[in-house]
Amino acid sequence: MTTYVPVEETPNETGSERKNYLNWTSGFWSWAATLDHKRIGIMYLVGVTIAFLSGGLFALLVRLHLWKPEGALFENADYNQIFTLHGAFMVFLFVIPAIPGSLGNMVLPLMVGAKDVALPRLNLMSFYLWLTGALLATLAIVLGGFDTGWTFYAPYSIYTDQAVVTIGLAVFILGFSSILTGLNFIVTVHKLRAPGMSWFRMPLFVWALYSTSLLQVLATPVLGITVLLVAFERLYGIGIFDPRLGGDPVLFEHFFWFYSHPAVYIMVLPAFGIISELVSVHSRKPLFGYKLIAFSSLAIAVISFLVWGHHMFTSGQSTYAMFAFSFLTFFVAIPTAIKEFSWVATIWKGSIALNSPMLYTLAFLIIFAIGGLTGVILGALNVDLHLHDTYFVVAHFHYVMMGSIALAFFAGLHHWWPKMFGVMYDETLAKIACGIIFVGFNITFVPQFIMGSQGMPRRYATYVPEFAPYHHWSTVGAMILGSGVALMVGYLVASLFAGKKAMQNQWGGVTLDWQTPTPPPLENFHTPPKVTSEVYDYSTLDLQTLRTPAN
Amino acid sequence: MFAHLIQDPKPPQHITNPAPPEAVDAYGQLTKLASTFHDVDGLFYFTYGVCIFFFVLITGVLAYSVVVYRRKTPDQPAASNVTHNTPLEVVWTVIPLIIVMVMFAWGFKGALDMTNAPHGARQYKAVAKQWNWTFSYPNDPVQSYGELWLEVGKPAVFMLESTDVLHAFYMPSMRVKRDVIPGRNQRVWFQPTEIGQYHLFCAEYCGDDHSKMYAKVHVVSAEDYAKRPWDQWDDANPAKGGEARYKALCSSCHSTNGSPMTGPSWKGLFVKDGSGAIVGGQREVFVGGQKQTITVDEAYLIESIKNPEAKKSAGFEKNAMTAFPDLPDREVKGIIEYMKKLAEN
């Protein structure tokens, strides 16, 4: 890789104050109008964190309500709004944009050795579109809320007397934010790689973001069209989904899942990318099966367009459709399994540092194993006919969305936190919080697998009393999980004010993001980097940088 | 251990042959299977076993690595820098591929069995509306609401209809689920194998009282089934039958406590006069666009059930009500008796 350039030798360093992207200018407009990918990444980080905490608050209300079979807190209609808000906030405002928007923006240009993304103004526009979408979603709550579930299934979403058009507009705008970020990353990866960085010298986080971007650009327009059609149906009665006007509600399901299944991979591929980086750095070992992991990201991106029908096995689609969708669903399990095995093989015989990013990574590997394997159970056609729309499905996708994607996000956040801010959080607290989150998460969702397999339907404000013990466990687990997250947010924020200085290369990474001063200067690299060695070649690691404090 | 999930402790009086206590696998996850779809459970436990195998394998290797290869000094390099092992990679690609193809074929075969109802299956109809179920029986004019009776051992096929939004017909013990879609003909079949009482849930989110959209399913012996237990009409107590119809057909739009819903509340339709006798109350209605005050009587109520557009209650004149022209006379009478009974409270 490039030779590390110590800050002392930087030619354009003047004065005693070492300038980096955080302190080279200050004031509101220096952030609000910034074109710097790193500052935009941090604005995203603040935004998606607020969205995550709001969504988490709704989740806790859901769990508290379900303490009693007849419902403990709300009227049924209010409960329906709250679970909808939980789903919509988490999916559209957190899980989809979180990793590409914050960590992707922050790290991708650094990793490919570029000064910035290819289209910095578009990048800022993506952020403001996200912000507009988030504000509109909040406005929709003020305007009476929405109770359709995050899936907006017709015809209920057409008949219900709530702010569906407003939230639809929010989703439409958020979709454009996602598309533009994807476009930006694609161009950046194609055009701005440093000299010597061939495609197969790109870090796997870059590969993952690249595959994600392809999906964002190709699939998201379908979601935009679908919510637009729902809005037209509500406003003008065009009769495409409304059966009273000759429309077909199942068509809505097809449109919706044609986007939303690839969207599952829009959410999870960046998480895979983070984990690929972290298992390598914290095991100090080149990734096992680098090319296979890179290609499996692309394979997943392609196959994910062809499996949407597995969300609709109970909708009465033809036998041939069921055959094809079930077959392809099982097929997508293979590249996913290859990734998991490759990560485990990377850790095997590594030099494993049990620091907090690695603990989050190990938690991911365990939870994702469960999330992925239970997906295989759901792929089996006749079993799915029993489990569809039960808590088994709820538990499965929380193992993927919360347990895997959010944990990978936390892992990446802990990994790049010292790079972003030049400070370290309290490692002991971080390890404790990781343990609390892991335990709380499993207590929350293992009971949901059990009650789901026994027939507890999802989206129920009340339930038959037999399921009460499982709901009690789940609610207790959610409180533990919530306190773990609160602790995490607490020590991370505290580190910004009272954190110890991080090291230049806190974890011993050898990708380009660790070859530049910490925190990075405005233009990322004082001298344009050249790549001369293979990716993840730890023989090039300059051990001195592990002990040099950040600027 | 899960027997309580599917057994109602107190079966109704007229069922003479209550179900025997059932044995359930102590370690099992699924509720007791009560239909002929054995394949669902077989494949579930097979995939479950495969999942446990791989989960133990993955966590085992992770745990071993973390203990044995833990970094002891800050500068310690990896014990190995191997990045490829072609035989290993082929094995971990091909073996999962074979396993999932077995699961696919097994699941598809099972789903085909669940799609094609046998010839001669009894044809029932289940109508879903927000938020209740109405069941029709083969060659029988009497419907049941919120409860269903089936004969053990006889395949039953259900025509599914929705009058409003998406619903789903879900019986966990029978392992069947099928979406009920307005404007589409959907069907589902199963063959109950055990006498007992079972849950029927709505599994597709359908609005406010989605979670209350429930029916109790009684699987009874041939002898009990022949007694037509769904025909519970008691001529001596028509208000009781009327209340059941109210809950099934009317309660999503009409309250009985005075609070307005989509339609006017039934409170005050009948009132007690000074002597304690129950007489019709006063209502403001629109007749052909003209507002007038009428005294509620049976003729007005029968007309409003069968042809609701004739006289519209003031304040609700813009809301359309579903008409029930075919509701049997005794049930219309029963509903009116129930309305009268409300005045006593």
Q: Is B77 domain-assigned?
A: no
Q: What is the CATH number of the domain that holds B267?
A: 1.10.760.10
Q: What is the pLDDT of residue B6?
A: 42
Question: What's the confidence (pLDDT) of residue B326?
Answer: 77
* Cα(B34)–Cα(B187) distance, integer angstroms: 19
- Residues of chain A numbered 186-205 and touching chain B (CB < 8 Å): none
B182 shares its domain with B206: yes
Q: Is the peptide bond before A109 cis (omega within 30 degrees of 0)?
A: no
Let me know whether B129 and B219 are in one domain: yes
Q: Is the same domain home to B198 and B263? A: no
Contacts of A244 in chain B (CB under 8 A): 182
How do residues A420-470 score in pLDDT, each as one tens digit? 999 999 999 999 999 999 999 999 999 999 999 999 999 999 999 999 999
Are B107 and A383 an interchain contact pair (Cβ–Cβ within 8 Å)?
Answer: yes
Residue B99 lies in a domain: no
**B302 part of a folded domain:** yes
Q: Give the C-alpha separation, A365 to A346, whole Å.
A: 12
Same domain, B220 and B289: no
Gap from B177 CA to chain A (nearest CA, Å):
6
- pLDDT value, residue A18: 66
Evaluate whether residue B214 is within a structural domain: yes
Is residue B3 scored above 70 in pLDDT?
Answer: no
Counting one residue from A and one from B, how many pairs have CB atoms under 8 Å apart?
Answer: 277
CB pair distance less than 8 Å for B175 and A290:
no
User: Nearest 5°: CA angle at B191, between B188 and B192?
Assistant: 115
Tell me what pLDDT residue A300 has: 87
Identify whether residues B126 and B227 lie together within a single domain.
yes
Among B10, B22, B17, CA closest to B223: B17
Question: Do residue B226 and residue B285 come from a single domain?
Answer: no
> Do A385 and B66 make contact, defined as CB atoms within 8 angstroms?
no
As a whole number of angstroms, the distance between CA B170 and CA B206 comes to: 14
Residues B168 and B193 in one domain: yes
Same domain, B170 and B245: no
Which of B206, B231, B256 delimits the end of a domain? B231
Number of compact structural domains in chain B = 2
List all residues of chain A from 78 to 107 with a beta carbon under 8 Å from chain B: 80
Residues A27 and A111 sit within 8 Å (Cβ to Cβ)? no
| d(CA B174, nearest CA chain A) in Å | 9
Q: Within 13 A of B54's CA, how many CA atoms are on the CB side?
A: 26
* Segments of chain A scoring below 50 in pLDDT: 1-17
Burial class (CB in 10 A: 0-12, 13-18, 19+), B46: middle
Give the residue from B207, B231, B255 where a domain finishes.
B231
Residue B296 sits in the same domain as residue B252 = yes
Inter-chain touch B65–A379, beta carbons under 8 Å: no
pLDDT value of residue A5: 45
Residue B144 in domain: yes
Average pLDDT over residues B173-185: 92
Contact A288 B173 (CB under 8 A): no
Q: Looking at B176, B197, B231, which one is the last position of a domain?
A: B231
Pair (B131, B215) in one structural domain: yes
From chain A, pick out residues whose CB is under 8 angstroms from the CB of B81.
Answer: 285-286, 538
Residues in A 205-244 with any Cβ partner in B closer than 8 A: 243-244
Tell whether B103 is covered by a domain. Answer: no
- The distance from CA A134 to its chain's CA centroid, rounded to whole angstroms, is 16
Chosen for mutation from A328, A355, A382 (greatest number of chain B CBs closer than 10 Å) is A382
Torsion of CA A44, A530, A192, A512, to 10 degrees: -20
Burial class (CB in 10 A: 0-12, 13-18, 19+), B170: buried
- Does B62 contact A284 at a Cβ distance shorter than 8 Å? no
State the pLDDT at residue B29. 60
Q: Does residue B223 lie within any of the structural domains?
A: yes
Task: State pLDDT tens for residues B264-287.
Answer: 999 889 998 888 888 888 888 988
Interface test mutation site (partner A, options B180, B204, B255, B322, max chain A beta carbons within 10 A): B204
Mind telling me how many Å the CA of A441 is from chain B's nearest CA?
17
CATH number of the structural domain spanning residue B165:
2.60.40.420
Identity of the residue in A314, A345, A370 whose CB atom sits nearest the CB atom of B177: A314
Do B276 and B295 fall into the same domain? yes
Chain B residue numbers touching A337 (CB-CB < 8 A): 92-93, 96
The distance of A405 to chain B (nearest Cα, Å) reads: 19
Which of A360-369, B114-123, B311-320 is the least confident region? B311-320
* pLDDT at B244 exceeding the cut of 90: no
Contact list in A for residue B178 (CB cut-off 8 A) is 314, 316, 385
Nearest to A316 among B74, B85, B178 (CB): B178
> Rounded CA gap, A351 and B78, in Å?
4
Position B137 in a domain:
yes
- Residue-number span of the structural domain to which B314 is assigned: 238-341
User: Which residues of A fall within a CB distance of 8 Å from B89?
Assistant: 289, 292, 338
Model confidence at B21: pLDDT above 60:
no
What is the sign of the dihedral through the CA atoms of A274, A279, A282 and A285? negative
- Asked if A389's CB is within 8 angstroms of B170's CB, the reply is yes
Assess whether B251 and B317 both reside in one domain.
yes
Q: d(Cα A298, Cα B100) in Å, to the nearest integer? A: 21
Closest approach of chain A CAs to the CA of B241, in angstroms? 25
Closest-CA distance of chain B to residue A285, Å: 6
Q: Mean pLDDT over residues B179-192, rounded?
A: 93
Q: Which of A285, A314, A344 sits opposite B178 (nearest CB)?
A: A314
